[in-house]
Amino acid sequence: MKKALQHYHTIIRPPFWKSFLCALVAVLIVLLPPTNLAKSNILDTFGKFGVKDELELGKKFSILVKSRMPIIEDPEIVSFVSGVLDRLQEHIPPQPFPFEVNVIVNDTLNAFAVPGGYVFVHTAMLLEMEHESELAGVLAHELAHITQRHIARRIEKSQKVQIMSLVGMLAGAVLGATTGNGSDVASGLMTGSMAAGQAALLNYSREDEREADHMGLIYLTEAGYNPKGLANSFEKIRRRKWESGSNMPSYLSTHPAVEERQDYLADRVASLPKELQERPENDVRFKRVQALVRSQFTDPTIALSYFAKQEQTPMVLMGLGIASARINKINDAAGYFDRALKAAPKDYLILREAGKFHYTKGDTNKAIFLLQKAAVRNPDDLMTLFYYARLLNDKGDTTSAATYYQKILKKLPEDSEVHFFYGKMLGQSGDQFNGHLHLAYSALYRNDAKKTAYHIKKAQALANDQKQTTALELIKKERDERAEYWK
């Protein structure tokens, strides 16, 4: 394997001095304190659009997406995608910012990364890929756009533009005027002929795409994935485009043509040692996540039809149970969950989903039994802990429930459902200030401006110390950041 990687480096790795210089600059940016950074000549390397500007643009764009599009909070799904990103990130040059990944419920094939380290993946991308290496290939390509600063450099070449205008341009470039489910995202943000003209600068060039393909293949291979994953993902996206006529992501619609880029990548992969080309695919967790996404976030009737045609594995039975429950076929769902549990009695994910099902249909004792077993199998599964906390609260043990809610919110601070049930419990137990505060956060993350304002007002009337005043200032600041996109 070591010899194979050495051969691979000689074929597609760029000259060492370029990688070293890039890494050195990134490390210096991280190490220099902010006050020195502003005065340092290192900023000259990045032009006038510096790291601080990238971070601001990325953060505002992330807020825009979260305020307009449905974001998945299921920790099983998010942690899987984050794990793929983390695995790739270990093999990219050091960056001056951390990466954050979000999964968007959307049936268009897309994934994109923006300056500042924000990465977004559509659920369709998770479902259409056959192997984890293909999803990793798409993410590696997107990471390469960030590490090579393709968007940032284009902004530097343009005339001075305000950050808010850039957010709108970026929305138009990577999201389009509308999303796959018809939600208007970019409208109203990209206004005026200047904005429209400047937006063209955010489209990737032929050279950008070729470089992202090249570097993405390097990142993918060094992360231990089968290098065929990138070209194979392009083929699946191209086929989906042909079959459905759906919109193609910007990185596949720009020059050079998809077929040419597939040939280019295939030639690169063919030049690699056979042990790299024949790396085994490990898709066990990927298939589990696909079953969750399909059963929970696609049309349940279509999901049932899909699962009915598959081999009746424990995961497929679980998917049938989840989808059946969503259309109130309770007896069918119970039967599928029973069969899944019989086939895989120690699988924490099946235990979790079965426990959720029995809790929602009112069988508390069975739910407790299943959720406790799930927690033993995987004590870090936050969804299990969330439903267990709700059960504890129902039983009157609010102290233990609060401990679980707090643990979950440390990992999922923007989960509206957790804030809702925690806030409701606090209010009912007499802590009116924190009850309204968490209900305000719940409404905020659901993008419900009216209820956010209502609960903030209620909490403000109850605030009686500096700690509570500070907590109010924090939520108002976050409210104001999102309010820019609620208009």
User: Confidence band (pLDDT; 50, 70, 90) for 188?
Assistant: very low
Q: Of 39-43, 247-251, 369-373, 443-447, where does mean pLDDT reach its minimum?
A: 39-43
Q: What is the mean pLDDT of residues 425-429?
A: 97
Provide CB contacts within 8 A for 66, sequence distance 6+. 102, 414, 445, 482
CB atoms within 10 A of CB 130: 16
Phi, psi for residue 111 in degrees, rounded to 5:
-155, 145
| Mean pLDDT, the chain, integer | 82
Q: Of 133-137, 149-153, 356-360, where does mean pLDDT reach its minimum?
A: 149-153
pLDDT at 77: 96
Q: Cα(240)–Cα(78) distance, rounded to whole angstroms?
A: 24
The position carrying tokens 């720009």 is 254
Q: Cα(168)–Cα(165) distance, rounded to whole angstroms?
A: 5
In 3D space, the residue among 467, 465, 422 whose CA is nearest the CA of residue 441 turns out to be: 422
Using DSSP's 3-state secondary structure scheme, residue 102 falls into strand
Q: Exposed, middle or buried: residue 20 (CB in 10 Å: 0-12, 13-18, 19+)? A: exposed
Q: What angle do CA 301, 307, 308 make, to 5 degrees?
A: 90
For residue range 382-395, list pLDDT tens digits in order.
Answer: 999 999 999 999 99
- Res 232 pLDDT > 70: yes
User: Confidence band (pLDDT; 50, 70, 90) for 75?
Assistant: very high
Q: What is the mean pLDDT of residues 83-91?
A: 95
For residue range 325-364, list pLDDT tens digits in order.
Answer: 999 999 999 999 999 999 999 999 999 999 999 999 999 9
Element housing 112 (H / E): strand 111-114
Strand partners, 119: 101, 113
Strand partners, 102: 120
Q: Cα(283)–Cα(131) distance, rounded to whole angstroms?
A: 6
Phi, psi for residue 440 in degrees, rounded to 5:
-65, -45
**Does the predicted TM-score (pTM) go above 0.85?**
no
For residue range 11-68, list pLDDT tens digits in order.
Answer: 444 433 333 333 333 333 333 333 333 333 333 333 467 788 888 888 988 998 898 8
In 3D space, the residue among 295, 286, 370 whose CA is nearest the CA of residue 325 turns out to be: 295
Q: Cα(152)–Cα(158) distance, rounded to whole angstroms?
A: 10
Residue 379: asked if its preceding bond is cis (omega within 30°), the reply is no
For residue range 254-273, list pLDDT tens digits in order.
Answer: 434 667 777 888 888 999 99
pLDDT at 288: 97
Q: What percentage of residues in the chain have a pLDDT greater than 90?
A: 58
Q: What percentage of residues in the chain have a pLDDT greater than 70?
A: 77
Higher pLDDT, 406 or 54: 406
Rg (Cα) of the chain, in Å, rounded?
A: 24
DSSP string, 337-365: HHHHHHH-TT-HHHHHHHHHHHHHTT-HH
- Res 435 pLDDT > 70: yes
Higher pLDDT, 248 or 132: 132
pLDDT at 206: 77
Element housing 378 (H / E): none
User: Confidence band (pLDDT; 50, 70, 90) for 177?
Assistant: very low
